[in-house]
Structure 1
Amino acid sequence: RRLKFIAYVVLRKKAQRNTQHTIHMTVRAFFRAVKVESAHPPYDNITLKVSYPALLSDSVEARNSGRMPADTTHAPFPVVIFMPGINVEPAVYQWLANALATKGLVVVTYSWIAEEMPGYINLTPGVDLTAVTPTTYGTKPTCPALQPVLDELAKINDAGHKTEDGNSVLSGLLDLNSIILGGHSAGGTMALQNVNPNWFPQIKAAFSYAGHTMASTMLGYAPGTILPISTNRPLLILGGSNDGVIAASAQRYELADDSPTVALERTFNEGVSGGKQDKYLIILQGANHFSCVHPIDETTGRPFLDQPTTQPDTRIRAELITLISFFIDGHVRSNPQARIALKQQINSGNPLIALSKLK
């Protein structure tokens, strides 16, 4: 028995030595705080979470700090800046950040508490209401969060920029000329409105879920006005056939049609210029307004207005990842096979696709 025990201990120690520096690919993240110079305290700070493909190791540094090196297989990494819906915590988009990071992307989510209208303090993607009036729309960015986030990404990528724990794990690994905007609901609207290359030439594409550019009459617009998306960049506009939040918001635009998809369809039909075959509208069958979040937080936002989904939520999320990944690979990473795969995904009798358009 003693010999068996000694043999067991020897083998265990040997196994520990062999696995001590074993590395596996995973997703890790770190936080940053940035200041918005145009905002007033206490609403002038944004908290970023930067998710990246990492190598999980049993090093001393990892054990002490949790800091993991990047998996540089797909570096330099394109960067997705994902903008949240109003009062939707960024944690519910972490599933999406993780999925995209495993495909060789860096994903930034953020939290900004702001008082954009007197008396209304919300978690917001950042909306400059002075930039969305009938006389100002199109003259300047509508999302004041974007430039501070882009500036912080430049610092993270700068090999000479020191953080409290040493050089950034992503120093020199970001492709800052391949920024992708993404967003949900109001964040999706911000993604669509700010993919303008005249403002942000480094932003190469945008995707949105449940975002549109129909303008509220409270801002002085005529009923049903669609604001144009001033871009020649690739766009992926996603939505759900059971979006109860958009349907319940028809009064904001003084619409008689309270269809869950009319705002998205009209945004694509009237607000998007075509001709390059890189602008997509895809409506998912049975998906609702919050199908891109997991887990859903019923305590904030407006999920009580939503309609039930008629497809398994896991299946809807898997489809979203497939579509977004093909879109980014095809139109940002310039992979022609991914563009073909995206078109096949939406044109092959896919039961999850209720409607698709391309122009």
Structure 2
Amino acid sequence: MSVRALYEAAKVDSATAPYDTIHMKVYYPANLDGSMDQINMGLVPPRDDDKPWPVVIFMPGTNVPVESYAWLAKALAEQGIVTVLYSWIKEDMPGFICLSPGIELANLRPDTYGTAPTASALPAIYQALTRINTSGVLAQRLDLTSLVIGGHSAGGSVALLNNNPNWFPWLKGCFTYAAHAAASTQLGFADDSMLTLNPNLPYLLMAGSRDGVIAASSFRYGDAETSSSTGRIARTFTDSIDRHQGDTHFITLAGANHFSVVHPSDSATGRQFLDWDSEGSDDDIRHCIASLTTQFILGELLGDPAARRAFSNTMTNPLIAAHDCK
């Protein structure tokens, strides 16, 4: 199967130039047909499936180049899941210019959390997807009633906090790697606070047993010293998500670290220097992440019985150190 990608841009009306533009890369199942558009412009038509495809919007970790998630986008597109990666260079905090998943900090304080979305990129990306679905290569190929948000690290936290159909009625659910819903004391929350997540949609939380970045970042949440690499992700599952329909999962991957989902890794950006060494095969870990994500989306979120069985069977993989479901 062939996977191709096209580029699009989205303007964020609430942002200030020059930090008001999101650049998107949309991966889709393609069909090489030898046409002149393909030969001349590299425009490859979509695969001729019998129905439109669901869409994933994947939120990157802070200062992690989106090319590092291309392997996952391709794996999802191969299974008929269109996947959007995006870059947004913005000022998340005064004087801190970064590659950002898009965090609306004004809505992430004790007196504002839960009143409005904290994902400032999502509305603009959804508007761009409606344009893509109207004309061009992917016209009428996207199921814009079946969108899933996912993310890594800070991007994963944004996904968790915005998995809310009251704000985004087109959402089906959320998956994350190395992300939690702990509340930062720098934003005014008390030590060791956990944010409440919307319970109306399913979640898949994946964690690495060797996550040194989460362990080293525990001071942000009131810890006096380095803490567990997976504890706050586990507490997100148990304390933050009050959903008990058998479709919400917490999975720990043995030997995986914070950047196991990133390939290739650019050590010049991000906080790779805080991470612990992974153990075992990085290729096997990524394959397991891609399988779990694909099966969760197709099975739990879209109701495919075969994908749901495959998800259950994957729990026998020796890389699965722990699995909780509710």
Question: Which ranges of structure 2 fall in alignment gaps of 5 or more residues?
Answer: none
Q: Which has the larger radius of gyration?
A: 1
- How far is 1:332 from its partner? 2.5
After TM superposition, the structure 1 = structure 2 runs for residues 11-90 of structure 1, keeping only pairs within 5 Å, are: 25-73=1-49, 75-90=51-66
Q: Displacement, 1:235? A: 0.6
Instruction: Classify 1:257/1:168 alpha carbon distance in 2 versus 1 (closer, same or farther; 3 Å).
Output: same
Letter in 1 for 2:32: L
Distance 1:120 1:233 in 2: 33
1:247 and 2:215 aligned: yes
Tell me which residue corresponds to 2:199: 231
Whether the 8 Å contact between 1:248 and 1:258 is mirrored in structure 2 is yes
Give the 3-state SS of the residue equivalent to 1:245 in structure 2.
helix
Once residues 220 and 72 of structure 1 are traced to their aligned partners in structure 2, the CA distance between those partners, rounded to angstroms, is 51
Between the aligned partners of 2:2 and 2:306, the Cα distance in structure 1 is 26
CA distance in 2, matches of 1:336, 1:222: 43
1:110, 1:210 → 2: CA distance? 19
Matches within 5 A, 1:254-265: 254-255=222-223, 256=225, 258-265=227-234
Give 1:257 deviation, angstroms: 6.0
Give the superposition deviation at 1:232.
1.4
Distance 1:291 1:217 in 2: 27
5+ residue gaps, structure 1, are 1-24, 159-166
Say which SS state the counterpart of residue 264 (structure 2) adopts.
coil
- The residue type paired with residue 358 of structure 1 is C
Q: What letter is aligned with 2:251?
A: I
Correspondent of 1:191 among 159, 162, 167: 159
Query: Alignment partner of 2:206: what SS?
Result: strand
3-state SS of paired residue (2:215): helix
Query: Equivalent of 2:239, from 254, 270, 273?
Result: 270
Moved more, 265-274 or 76-85: 265-274
CA distance in 1, matches of 2:174, 2:257: 20
Deviation at 1:254, TM superposition (A): 1.5
Q: Trace 1:1-359 onto structure 2 (pairs within 5 A).
A: 25-73=1-49, 75-158=51-134, 167-255=135-223, 256=225, 258-346=227-315, 348=316, 350-359=317-326
State the alpha-carbon separation in 1 of the partners of residues 156 and 50 from structure 2: 27
Q: Is the 8 A contact 2:219 2:226 kept in 1?
A: no
1:267 partner SS: helix
Is the contact made by 2:29 and 2:46 (CA closer than 8 Å) also made in structure 1?
Answer: yes
Once residues 289 and 75 of structure 1 are traced to their aligned partners in structure 2, the CA distance between those partners, rounded to angstroms, is 36
Deviation at 1:105, TM superposition (A): 1.0
Query: Is the contact made by 1:197 and 1:231 (CA closer than 8 Å) also made in structure 2?
Result: no
Does the CA-based 8 Å contact 2:217-2:226 persist in structure 1?
Answer: no
Shift of 1:307: 0.4
Any conservation in 2 of the 1:74–1:104 contact (CA below 8 Å)? Answer: no
Alignment partners' CA distance in 2, 1:229 and 1:113: 27
Cα distance, 1:248–1:74 mapped onto 2, change above 3 Å: farther
Residue 261 of structure 2 aligns with an amino acid whose one-letter code is C
Q: Percent identity?
A: 49
Residue 67 of structure 1, CA deviation? 0.1
- Structure 1 position 98, deviation (Å): 0.5
Distance in 2 (alpha carbons) for counterparts of 1:355 and 1:128: 33
Question: Please, which moves more after superposition, 306-315 or 51-60?
Answer: 51-60
Does the 8 Å CA contact 1:78/1:179 hold for their aligned counterparts? yes
Mapped contact 1:72–1:173 kept (Cα < 8 A): no
Quick check: 2:24–2:85 contact (8 Å CA) kept in 1?
yes
Q: Conserved in 1, the CA contact under 8 Å of 2:216 and 2:226?
A: no
Q: May I ask how many residue pairs the two structures share in their alignment?
A: 325
Contact 2:2 2:30 in 1 (8 A): yes
Which amino acid letter does the alignment assign opposite residue 310 of structure 1? E
**C-alpha deviation, 1:74, in angstroms:** 5.7
Give the AA of the match of 2:80.
G
Shift of 1:339: 1.7
Is the 2:199–2:243 contact (alpha carbons within 8 Å) kept by the matching residues of 1?
no
The 8 Å contact of residues 145 and 171 in structure 2, kept in 1 or not, is answered as yes
SS at match of 1:226: coil
What is the Cα deviation at residue 30 of structure 1? 0.8
* Separation in structure 2 between the aligned mates of residue 337 and residue 67 of structure 1, nearest angstrom: 33
